[in-house]
Structure 1
Amino acid sequence: MILLRFRVENHRSIRDEAELSLVRPSLTTVRPKDQDWVGATTRVAGIYGANASGKSTVVDSIEFFQAMIVSSATSWSLRRRLPQQPFRLASGSTPEPSAYAVDFVFEDVRYQYGFEITENAVRQEWLYDYPSTKHRVLFERDGNEFKFGRALVGSPKLHAAATGSRTLFLSKAAGNGHELLGRLFAAFADQIVVADFSEQDRNRRLHQITEGIAEGDIGLNDVKTLLRVADIGIADVGIDESEVPDEVRELSKELNELFHRHLEPEPEEHGEHGEASAATEAPSTARPALQVDVIRRALMFQHTGRNGVFPLPLESQSTGTLSWLSLALPALTILRSGGLLVVDEIDASLHPQLSQVILRMFKDPDYNHTGAQLVFTTHDTFLLSVQSDSMLIPEETWFTEKDGDGATSLFSLAEFPTRPDQNFSKRYLDGRYGAIPRTARSFLVTLLDEETKDHADA
């Protein structure tokens, strides 16, 4: 999958429609004349902005878009309401709908897919493809009314009849075995990887890496090579396995029984047409369960010291090592399979040179053979300078900024008049493009004066 554009409206601090485009300015037609989608798109997009300006909201909106597709027909179907996150700094008691849409290329076909939701229902949903210079309707949805194009074969009306008001048709049809929609669902689910800034998400990715190595899905040599690239003194890495004690497994079983007895979701009274809700009908096997693996696995690192090599567990590694490993391996996976990696705060806990290594992996065609793409947020302005090995050019550089109403806008450096010889880093820090913090240093003087006064009074 190659991302062309992502659009979002009314999501957290994004009130008005915001568009992130990875299409090069040279592409002015629906399809590139030479059919080279990789050449017509950028491999990376870096998003700059002040703290709390909405950079992470862009990442979160992509993550929500993916989660809605993956979960609306499964775990979210048990909820009373969709987890809509609208802009809340506006008057009015009823939030407006939130909208999400992507233009993308899959199996050399251009598509546009999107949906509009409230917390109570899917309001709109659509899927178009572009067999020529004009789009072709595969399906359009308005509430519970569906319109299907002739090109969408596979009994779509039967899948529509089984689609609830809070469920995406794409997700339901994919789960019911529709061929095309199943492939598109898999692309959204598997070829978009979001890595946020939280320690919890980083630990989740490290756990996935551990299990992937143990199951043979991730090569141990890949891990060793990436650790050597970072040159952090680790000679070897392996998996340490141990059995989980019987008492822990027994406790897990007891917790599951308590969970199902006391914490099951409350059923809704009736569905739209009088049927019992999904929460009422769901068998116990479909309910979430607390699991403890029989085998406990952990990464073990061999560190080189003055007197030999010493094994140290994962929790003894530095934050920089863990951050590098948790980002570099997903990047390697995306580069090999194709798709989109989205990283919030790529420079957090990483040396600037390691951030550049990840960018170079995506920007250099010698490494990136699949057209994989990277979207990231950062404060590292060195990536805008000519001294950087992976300097961002204007169409790869984006900014977020909040207005007086607290609403985030998203815009590109390519919207400004630029020249290749300009120092984009310095001009950004000088405020030429906006999206920098507005500081009020006079308050610092007030704080220091108060502290001096307190000492004098004492």
Structure 2
Amino acid sequence: MILLRFRVENHRSIRDEAELSLVRPSLTTTRPKDEDWIGATTRVAGIYGANASGKSTVADALKFFRATIVESATSWNLRKTIPQEPFLLDPDSKSSPSGYAVDVVLGSMRYQYGFELDESAVRHEWLYDYPSTKHRVLFERNGQEFNFGRSLIGAPRRHASATGERELFLSKARSNGHELLGSVWSELVDGLVIADFSEQDRRLRLDQITDGIADGSIDLRDVTTLLQVADIGITEVAIDESATSDADHSARPESAWQPYDAKKRLPSIYVERHRRTGKTRVWLTEREEVKKALTFQHLGFDGTFPLSVDAQSTGTLSWLSLALPALTILRQGGVLVVDEIDASLHPQLSQVILRMFKDPDYNHTGAQLVFTTHDTYLLSNQSDSVLLPEETWFTEKHRDGATSLFSLSDFPTRDDQNFAKRYLDGRYGAVPRTARSFLASLLDPEARETTDA
């Protein structure tokens, strides 16, 4: 999947429609004449802005877009309302639908897909493709009324009749086995990866790593190589077989044992109760076995020393939690979305990630990276992964609380300009407005008394 554009409206601090474009300014037609979509798009999009300006809202909107596609026809059926998050500082927006749309290339075909919804129902949904320079309607939805294009075969009306008002038609048709819509669904879901990067997700990131090692989707050699790239003193990652449990996980428990209160089962253990005695026993899952046996060989004073995964620093786990999905996206193609890429990472490691996507010697699939950051060094000519104007975006929150999104390419620029300095000087906006006069009232008792008076 190659992302051309993402549009969002009425989502959190984004009240009016905002568009993030990864299309190079040189492309002025509906498709490149040489059909080279990789050459016509940027590989990265970095979003800057002051704290609480709406940078994370852009990433969250992409996350919500994907979650709606995945969950609207499954887990959302158990909810009373759709988890819409409209702009709350305007009564009109608070009661209006939210809109999300992507312009993407799947395989060699360009598609436009989007939907509008409120907490009660999906109000609009559409899917177009571009077999030529003009778009072709595959389906359009207005509430529960559907219009289908002739090219959409596979009994779409049968799938539409089974679609509830809080379900996306794309998702329902996929779950009911529609071939084309199922393929579009899979490309959007698998091709859009959201990397949760907040500290509260540290446990989840660790579990994902150990799960991947346990099921074979993550190669220990890749983990070792990525840690060696970061040069943090780890020479090897391995499984210590002597540390695994003696429990035979391939054997079925005795018939006297049965699952115990599934609602209270923790994510990483399996609890059983004996029917006659009432005693309980705990079985570790494969994830816990792998985690317990995972060792990191660290360089020490005299040779290497093994340390468990729990002994690794937050920075080490943060690097792995970002570098591993980045490696997967680079190999398979798609879009990786990272909120605060510089969190817990040294700036040089952020540059390594950018270089992996921007350098065609590494990026053979046209994979893309969308990220938010405060790291202005990436705007400096001294950076070996410097962001170009069309790769640089800003968010700014206005006095009415609404966020606007705009690109550095909207401004007159020259290659010899110091974009980092100009940004920090406020030439492009999107920098904090500080009121330093209030500091005196915090630190000077007399000033506080004057302020109170």
TM-score by length of 2: 0.89
Q: Does 1:367 align with 2:359?
A: no
Q: Equivalent residues in 2 for 1:167-246 (5 A)?
A: 167-239=167-239, 242-243=244-245
- Provide the secondary structure at the position in 2 that maps to 1:328: helix
Partner of 2:311: 316
- Provide the secondary structure at the position in 2 that maps to 1:348: coil
**CA displacement, residues 28-74 of structure 1 (integer Å, 9 cap, x when unaligned):** 00000010000000000000000000000000000000000001111
Amino acid paired to 2:194: V
- Root-mean-square deviation over aligned CA pairs: 2.2
Partner of 1:160: 160
Q: Does 1:48 align with 2:54?
A: no
Q: Equivalent residues in 2 for 1:267-306 (5 A)?
A: 293=285, 296=288, 297-298=290-291, 299-306=294-301
Query: Shift of residue 303 of structure 1?
Result: 1.0
Q: Does 1:355 align with 2:361?
A: no
Q: Equivalent residues in 2 for 1:307-346 (5 A)?
A: 307-346=302-341
Answer yes or no: is the 8 Å Cα contact 2:110–2:129 preserved in 1: yes
**2:423 counterpart (400, 421, 428):** 428
> 1:125 and 1:441 mapped to 2: Cα distance?
48
- Structure 2 unaligned spans of 5+: 266-282
Query: Shift of residue 292 of structure 1?
Result: 6.8
Query: Shift of residue 94 of structure 1?
Result: 5.5
Amino acid paired to 1:114: G
- Structure 1 unaligned spans of 5+: 260-290
Q: Does 1:442 align with 2:437?
A: yes
Answer yes or no: is the 8 Å Cα contact 1:244–1:294 preserved in 2: no
- Provide the secondary structure at the position in 2 that maps to 1:311: strand
Partner of 1:255: 261
Answer yes or no: is the 8 Å Cα contact 2:86–2:93 preserved in 1: no
Partner of 1:282: none
**CA displacement, residues 66-87 of structure 1 (integer Å, 9 cap, x when unaligned):** 0000011111111111100000
**2:378 counterpart (383, 388, 405):** 383
Answer yes or no: is the 8 Å Cα contact 1:3–1:104 preserved in 2: yes
Partner of 2:269: none
**1:394 counterpart (381, 389, 396):** 389
Amino acid paired to 1:50: A
> 1:391 and 1:171 mapped to 2: Cα distance?
39
- Provide the secondary structure at the position in 1 that maps to 2:261: helix
Partner of 1:274: none
**CA displacement, residues 61-117 of structure 1 (integer Å, 9 cap, x when unaligned):** 000000000011111111111100000011359521000000000011000000000
Query: Shift of residue 380 of structure 1?
Result: 0.3
Q: Equivalent residues in 2 for 1:102-181 (5 A)?
A: 102-181=102-181
Cα gap change, 1:221/1:451 in structure 2, threshold over 3 Å: closer, same or farther?
A: farther
Amino acid paired to 2:374: H
Query: Shift of residue 211 of structure 1?
Result: 1.5
> 2:49 and 2:211 mapped to 1: Cα distance?
36
> 1:381 and 1:295 mapped to 2: Cα distance?
39
**CA displacement, residues 134-171 of structure 1 (integer Å, 9 cap, x when unaligned):** 11000000000000001111111111011000000000
Cα gap change, 1:294/1:350 in structure 2, threshold over 3 Å: closer, same or farther?
A: closer
Query: Shift of residue 245 of structure 1?
Result: 8.1
Return 153-162 or 189-198, whichever deviates more: 189-198
Cα gap change, 1:121/1:4 in structure 2, threshold over 3 Å: closer, same or farther?
A: same
Instruction: Give the total of aligned pairs.
Output: 421
Amino acid paired to 1:322: L
- Provide the secondary structure at the position in 2 that maps to 1:301: strand
- Provide the secondary structure at the position in 2 that maps to 1:222: helix
Return 60-69 or 173-182, whichever deviates more: 173-182
- Provide the secondary structure at the position in 2 that maps to 1:77: helix
Query: Shift of residue 319 of structure 1?
Result: 1.5
- Provide the secondary structure at the position in 2 that maps to 1:425: helix
Partner of 2:101: 101
**CA displacement, residues 387-444 of structure 1 (integer Å, 9 cap, x when unaligned):** 0010000000000000011011000000000011100000000000000000111111
> 2:430 and 2:385 mapped to 1: Cα distance?
22
Q: Sequence identity of aligned pairs in percent? A: 71
Partner of 2:277: none
> 1:204 and 1:453 mapped to 2: Cα distance?
45
Answer yes or no: is the 8 Å Cα contact 1:243–1:294 preserved in 2: no
- Provide the secondary structure at the position in 2 that maps to 1:236: strand
- Provide the secondary structure at the position in 1 that maps to 2:3: strand
Query: Shift of residue 207 of structure 1?
Result: 1.7
> 2:40 and 2:427 mapped to 1: Cα distance?
28
Return 163-172 or 309-318, whichever deviates more: 309-318
Cα gap change, 1:93/1:50 in structure 2, threshold over 3 Å: closer, same or farther?
A: closer
Partner of 1:278: none
> 2:126 and 2:93 mapped to 1: Cα distance?
28
- Provide the secondary structure at the position in 2 that maps to 1:320: helix
Query: Shift of residue 238 of structure 1?
Result: 2.0
Partner of 2:89: 89
Cα gap change, 1:93/1:234 in structure 2, threshold over 3 Å: closer, same or farther?
A: closer
TM-score by length of 1: 0.88
Cα gap change, 1:252/1:333 in structure 2, threshold over 3 Å: closer, same or farther?
A: farther
Partner of 2:270: none
Answer yes or no: is the 8 Å Cα contact 2:116–2:124 preserved in 1: yes
Cα gap change, 1:447/1:423 in structure 2, threshold over 3 Å: closer, same or farther?
A: same
Cα gap change, 1:257/1:327 in structure 2, threshold over 3 Å: closer, same or farther?
A: closer
Answer yes or no: is the 8 Å Cα contact 2:214–2:286 preserved in 1: no
Answer yes or no: is the 8 Å Cα contact 2:47–2:393 preserved in 1: yes
